[in-house]
Amino acid sequence: MTGAHSGTAVVVKRVDSGEADTGEFRDLARAAGYDVVSQVTQTRKEDPAYCIGEGKVAELAQVVEALEADTVLFDNSLGPYQTFNLGTELPDHVQVLDRFRLILEIFGQRARTKKAQLQVELATLRYELPRVEAKTSLAKRDERPGFMGLGEYDESREQDIKKRISRIRDELETIEETDEHRREQRRESGFDLVALAGYTNAGKSTLLRRLARDLDVDENEDRHPDLDTTAESEDRLFTTLGTTTRRMDMDSRNVLLTDTVGFVSNLPHWLVESFKSTLSEVYRADLVLLVVDVSDPIDEIHEKLVTSHDTLYERNEAPIVTVLNKVDKVDEAELAEKRRALSTLAPNPVAVSGMEDLNVESLKARIDTELPPYEHERLVVPMTDDTMSFVSWVHDHARVEEVDYGEQVVLEFEARPAVVERARAKAGELAQPA
């Protein structure tokens, strides 16, 4: 895992129209460890050579030199030639990073598990590949093997990247198969799987701690590398690149709650695709809690919900419940207005405050309602040496309604279909003559 930067940065943003808002991007820069010392913004159509206009480039160079900044961070996507051209107009020691390269840098700092590290590397290689391809193509066309450091090196680099992408995909596929097997084992053990999704800083980690208290999942030697006994709830972006799984504090059924990576606005499809292994915790859940910060402006909430739905509905089959978090930061009138404005995207949301523990019990009740229904079963088994351990197993994996002990033992219980199926098989083995 790479450490955070401690350099100084100038933030740049170009917009086609309106005013350039750098608030979230400055947060991203700080999350990466940069000290943002200034910003340069411009409203104009994109300049194909520099992204911003030539005059702004000159202004940027003056700001960078005056403040002795070592990094320029663009809240735009830069092409390979734009990055190169900007570099020629800035002091030699200054690096230029666009929005996606900065996000990948933050992901790299947060990658604590093998799976997360592989996903970051995959995303980084996917970012680099079209840039290397473009350089190679131009070198061949212009027959200038030395241009921009091009030539045979870049052609070889292109092939190396493609081979490495293929190997990482194979490794991640193996990890995903292991993860899917683990999820099925949990379901067979009677657990419902609930995933927290949503944007960074929506309060997912705080909500996890409120819903799950301090009940950690014990996996013994088979402890999954993404499993953590603590969930951070710091006010910074990307604290949960990996996943944190805890057992929920619920009496009615056994539930495992997983906090997943936070969404960030304006992520390209290739970047989201690189993290599908982590997002599979969302895609393969029994229920998704989509958490939004209700104190955000209504237009921002609307945009975040639309983007989240695009990401989730692509593969997700589980029901999605929208959770309007941080109600302690808005009054009743504002909350009611936002409910009305969001009714199409979030027809029946649950409004809570994870920080203040407001309405969390209602959220638990909603979770219980939305999860797949349990099957009712009545089993009659003979009283044998193994019967009591069977009864104990049913208690651990199901919601037992009644146990009647006599010459035979009668159990009535409710459980997930997979658990009912296993219970019938175990009961059948007990009924077999020794």
Tell me: is residue 204 an annotated ligand-binding position.
Answer: yes
Report pLDDT for 398.
Answer: 87
pLDDT reported for residue 4: 56
Evaluate whether 74 touches 97 at the Cβ level (below 8 Å): yes
pLDDT of residue 217: 46
Q: Which two tokens stand for residue 370?
A: 């939305």
Instruction: State the fold for domain 190-370.
Output: Rossmann fold (3.40.50)
**Amino acid code (one letter) for 405:** Y
Written as one string, the DSSP assignment of 185-244 is: HHHHTT-EEEEEEEBTTSSHHHHHHHHHTT-B---GGG--TT--S-----SSS-S-SS-E
Backbone phi, then psi, for 143, in 5-degree steps?
Answer: 55, 45
Q: What is the pLDDT of residues 44-65, one digit of tens each?
A: 999 999 999 999 999 999 999 9
- Entry field: residues in the chain: 434
Whether 98 has a pLDDT exceeding 50, the answer reads yes
What is the C-alpha separation between 4 and 15, in angstroms, rounded? 28
| Nearest alpha-carbon partner for 7 in 79, 64, 80, 90 | 64
Annotated ligand binding at 205? The verdict is yes
Flag whether 328 is marked binding.
Answer: yes
Mean pLDDT (whole number) for 217-245 = 44
- Is residue 105 over pLDDT 60? yes
The answer to the question of whether 307 is labelled as a binding residue is no
Q: Which residues contact 88 (CB under 8 A, 6 or more apart)?
A: none
- Is 85 annotated as ligand-binding? no
**Considering Cα of 209, then 212, then 217, then 223, what sign does the dihedral take?**
negative
Q: Which pLDDT does position 220 carry in this prediction? A: 31
Q: Is 55 annotated as a binding residue?
A: no
The confidence score (pLDDT) of residue 434 equals 57
Distance CA 55, CA 59 (A): 6
Query: Residue 231: what pLDDT?
Result: 42
Q: What is the CATH number of domain 8-100?
A: 3.40.50.11060
Question: Is 260 assigned to a binding site?
Answer: yes
Are 370 and 252 a contacting pair, CB within 8 Å? Answer: no
Please write the tens of the pLDDT for every residue from 124-155: 898 888 878 877 776 666 555 444 554 566 67
| pLDDT confidence bin for 100, thresholds 50/70/90 | confident
Q: Is 262 annotated as a binding residue?
A: yes
Q: What tens digit of pLDDT does each residue of 152-188 get?
A: 666 788 899 999 999 999 999 998 888 888 888 888 7
CA 193 – CA 245 distance, rounded (Å): 10
On whether 242 is known to bind a ligand per the annotation, the reply is: no
Fold annotation for 375-431 = Ribosomal Protein S8; Chain: A, domain 1 (3.30.1370)
